[in-house]
Amino acid sequence: MRNLARSLIRFKILKAKGEVEALLQNYSQTQRQRLEQILDEIVALSTQETDASTLKKLLLDKAASANIEVSPQDLESIYIILAQKVSKKLAVAAAGHIKEAVKFSFDTVDAEAIEAMRKGFYWMGKEYNERLQNRLKDIIERVFKAEIANEEVGSALKEEFGSIINADESYFKGVADHIALQAQNVAAVTQGSKYGVQFYKVLAILDDRTTKICRSMHGRIIPAEHLSAQADKILNAHSLADKKAAAAWRDQAFFGKSLPKNFGLPPYHFRCRTEVTPVWVDEEEEDGVMMRNTQPLSNDEIIRHIDKIGVERVLDLKAANGEHGLKNRLKRNEKLKSDIIKALNSIIAIAPKKDEENLSNAVSSNGYFMVFDGNRIVTAYKPGKGAQTYFKEKSLALQQEIIKRWWQK
């Protein structure tokens, strides 16, 4: 029960924009009702010792039994939104003491995001006078309080500042989104520290608008102390220069294992859509193979493992059955799954793929060449001419990152 309450808290911290409600529209009304029933069953079976990993595994298994396919990308969002829907029942079952804790967190997290926005605020182009900045902060705060709809903030800002700044509504909307996203991510980190969160995972929206930096960061696991230190610098900065120094922007992919002190907490660029979410890292054994991950394997996954760089890589059935011959290699070689995990553990270099810079190539010390799309494993194999030579031929070698040590100290 305690772990379910923790997920309820995370719901308000991370999903204030209501995107999970839109996500659930991918499922039919019958499926949504059945998922709610499934979670009710899980709540009834859970004890205080039941951990989050077990609860998610139960959700996946029961959903599969009901012929509802839950994608790994949807698992966390569905889990927490359904958990929120049964929070009243949980509070009663917990004899009231969780109710106060959850209510307190739900009531205060938006206030924390507003405070983070006000303390860490800076204008996108130049520093304006305090009165002007406060007017902008007031409008953004009204968005947090749902007094202004998110889709209306651009027109509201243009109406307020159009005579001062010559820009269209989309620019003002970008400014508002940027300020709100940074405030929400800062609030998530400061709030998460109160609940013993040790790691955060970067979640980008992968589509044709995704930038190189966000695609490369998707799935990366970041220690809480790194983001907490950066959030503190953002909140305690006293000038525009200080704030920019505390939160660097990037446009090129980042493949290193060690993040700079001023990088890690989104947004990573103007109009960024990337967030961080608290995660708990566990170990899972599947067919004799040990993996470290933040959630159990779903039915359409073969591997989910945090690699040497610190990115949670996923090999799904779509890639395994793709056009790269991986399906046949998996059938012929029973050890291939284990070998791929060993390859992820022993990456020695990673770089953008030639002619397809949205993809990245990696080479491992056990002789494997791997191709990644974000955190997805597209293919993995041992090339005939030697992995390192092959890697140099297929990669933008001048942009490669040499990986000497493990991401986690």
| Segments making up each domain of the chain, as ranges | 2-95, 108-278, 298-402
Which stretch of 37-51, 128-142, 162-176, 309-323 has the lowest confidence by average pLDDT? 37-51
Beta bridge partners of 282: 293
Question: Given pLDDT bands bounded at 50, 70 and 90, which one contains residue 350?
Answer: very high
> For residue range 144-183, what is the model confidence (pLDDT) as tens digits?
555 666 566 667 666 666 666 665 666 666 666 667 777 7
Q: Rounded CA gap, 281 and 88, in Å?
A: 28
> For residue range 311-349, what is the model confidence (pLDDT) as tens digits?
999 999 888 887 777 878 888 887 888 999 999 999 999
Instruction: Check residue 393 and give its pLDDT.
Output: 94
Question: Given pLDDT bands bounded at 50, 70 and 90, which one contains residue 45?
Answer: low
Given a contact cutoff of 8 angstroms between Cβ atoms, the answer to whether 333 and 340 are in contact is no
Q: Phi, psi at residue 353, to the nearest 5°?
A: -80, 135
Distance of CA 176 to the CA centre of its chain: 21
Question: Given pLDDT bands bounded at 50, 70 and 90, which one contains residue 207?
Answer: confident
- Name the residue type at position 180: A
Say if residue 116's pLDDT is above 60: no
Which range, 41-50, 100-109, 282-291, 305-314, has the best average confidence (pLDDT)? 305-314
Measured over the CA atoms of residue 94, residue 95, residue 97 and residue 99, the dihedral's sign is positive
Nearest to 401 by CA among 255, 299, 248, 259: 255
Instruction: Check residue 65 and give its pLDDT.
Output: 64
Nearest to 212 by CA among 357, 33, 58: 357
Instruction: Classify 168 in phi/psi space as left (phi over 0), alpha (psi -120 to 50) or beta.
Output: beta
Average pLDDT over the chain, rounded to whole? 74
Q: Rounded CA gap, 259 and 250, in Å?
A: 12
pTM of the model: 0.66
Q: Rounded CA gap, 27 and 187, in Å?
A: 30
Which stretch of 94-103, 352-361, 365-374 has the lowest confidence by average pLDDT? 94-103
391 vs 208, more confident: 391
Instruction: Check residue 73 and give its pLDDT.
Output: 55
Q: Phi, psi at residue 258, to the nearest 5°?
A: -110, 120
Say if residue 143's pLDDT is above 50: yes
Q: Rounded CA gap, 395 and 409, in Å?
A: 28
> For residue range 386-395, what is the model confidence (pLDDT) as tens digits?
899 999 999 9
Given a contact cutoff of 8 angstroms between Cβ atoms, the answer to whether 102 and 5 are in contact is yes
Say if residue 102's pLDDT is above 50: no
Query: Which residues, other chains included, contact 269 with Cβ-Cβ below 8 Å and sequence gap of 6+?
Result: 211, 213, 214, 249, 250, 251
Say if residue 19's pLDDT is above 50: no
Considering only the C-alpha atoms of the chain, give the largest distance between any 2 of them, rounded to a whole number of Å: 69
Which stretch of 195-204, 261-270, 327-336, 376-385 has the lowest confidence by average pLDDT? 327-336
Q: Rounded CA gap, 370 and 347, in Å?
A: 9
Instruction: Classify 273 in phi/psi space as left (phi over 0), alpha (psi -120 to 50) or beta.
Output: alpha
